[in-house]
Amino acid sequence: MNKTLARLIDSDSTLTDFQKAVYHTVALIPRGTTWTYRQVAQAIGRPGAVRAVGNALNKNPFAPRVPCHRVIKSDGSLGGFAHGPRAKQALLKKEGVVY
């Protein structure tokens, strides 16, 4: 993640510390790679907060710089996306992830 994005996330006073942690972590997911909501929750030290991760990503004000489309469900399905599943699938396909 670039320093400008990190500063932007950190300086947003409307975000909770939890949301900031989620956005910092998701911003590190490489193009063409997916993580699960559970992996994000574990990475921020909140393994029981899987649904909260999804809720935070649904409100992601930094998309596409914070690539929430790269986060999927543990069962391998796409999960939610603010712009709908087709848009999420199209973004992943563009990055070389095929579903």
Catalytic residue numbers, as ranges? 68
Say how far apart CA 26 and CA 40 lie, in whole Å: 7
For 60, other C-beta atoms within 10 Å of its C-beta total 20
Say how far apart CA 35 and CA 79 lie, in whole Å: 12
Segment (H or E) for 71: strand 71-72
